[in-house]
Structure 1
Amino acid sequence: MSVYRPQFEQALRLFGRASEAMKARGLSAPVLVGGAAVEIYTSSALNTGDFDIVTPWQQEFEEELRRLGFIRPSGRGRATRGWIHPDLQLGFEVVARSLLGGLAERERVRLIDLGEDGVAAVISVEDMIADRMGQYASGAAPEMLEQARRLFALHADVDRDYMEKRIRHESAGEYGVADLEG
């Protein structure tokens, strides 16, 4: 798995271990979204500083993070919503209870085998592109168009029909797959 930068790979392995612990409790595995998913789909060509996670089991997931050595930063000038592993300085934060508000198809989630560290569940590349296009369409994140285009260029095998539907929904009908090609 050496396609990722070492710090990111270590954090991904910790995520896999936390995911396995959740499954051992009889709970569904958390799913990576956001920048961590982008970094996975670009093989670390685009880097992130955090792992955004979707799980309906926030308290239980945070308990597992604590067991793995994560701490909640506190004090002046520190973000307090997420968790950081002191050795990695990458933040982990639960950002939602359901995958894109329940609109992403769970069966499209990609599973990454991390060997002895378990399996990491990652939002589909189609849904990640649609999410980026939605953020771009909002006007609050103009840089997301370039991220969506880079992801699209790297993944020619996407389900274009599904992605068209998801982009149209996330962008309130304003954008579609054709906007990724320009």
Structure 2
Amino acid sequence: MNTDWEQASALEVVATVIQHLRSHGIEATLVGGACVSIYSHNRYQSSDLDLVTAASLKQLASALAELGFDRIGRGREFRRQDCGFYLDFLHPPVAVGGEAVETAQVVHTEWGALPLLTPTDCIKDRLAAYYHWSDPQSLEQAVMIARAQAAQVDLAELERWSKREGHLKKFQVFRIKLED
């Protein structure tokens, strides 16, 4: 399947990249803002695609070069000139706040299987930014996901996690915004 990188959506880019990495024995999980885009039905857009992988920089650079992605600077970021998204590879574990994520959700796309945070863990990720940095945009993103994915969101788990993070009062702000 040929990818039109200039026109490709975030979902197409990340699913294509993950399938290519998998063909090289590299596993990766999508986290961060791109998960928000997917779960909010693109009400939020992110130009960076954050992926957690244990692969070495050398392994990533070799595999991604085959897709036309070049390393940016000295970090673990890669960009393709004709693509509107860049890839940022984070070190494991996949975690939200102070807790490791045990299981990822797998979304099946026309470009292949895409492992990513569950809606509940994606909300935790956004709430962590709200809790620790008082970022109002992250709170709004958490609410967007919770509304769009209501049937899949575990509010009791979010409350338990918020208590463990020491932010029950801010969790109540989230609940009030969710009910508005």
TM range (shorter): 0.7 to 0.9
The alpha-carbon distance between structure 1 residues 156 and 47, as it changes in their structure 2 partners (threshold 3 A), is same
Structure 1: how far apart are the matches of 2:78 and 2:137?
26
Over aligned residues, Cα RMSD in angstroms? 2.5
Structure 2: how far apart are the matches of 1:86 and 1:17?
16
Paired position in structure 1 for 2:51 = 53
TM-score (normalised: structure 1): 0.77
The 5 Å alignment of 1:1-182 reads 7=7, 9=9, 11-27=10-26, 29-59=27-57, 60-74=59-73, 81-100=76-95, 103-106=100-103, 109-115=104-110, 117-139=111-133, 141-157=135-151, 158-169=153-164, 171-175=165-169, 178-182=172-176
Query: Higher strand fraction: Structure 1 or Structure 2?
Result: 2
Asked if the contact 1:18/1:64 (under 8 Å) is kept, the reply is no
1:143 alignment partner, SS class: helix
Gaps of at least 5 residues in structure 1 are 1-5
Structure 1: how far apart are the matches of 2:125 and 2:14?
22
- Equivalences, count: 167
The alpha-carbon distance between structure 1 residues 88 and 105, as it changes in their structure 2 partners (threshold 3 A), is same
Percent identity of equivalent pairs: 23
Gaps of at least 5 residues in structure 2 are 1-5
TM-score (normalised: structure 2): 0.78
Structure 2: how far apart are the matches of 1:22 and 1:72?
15
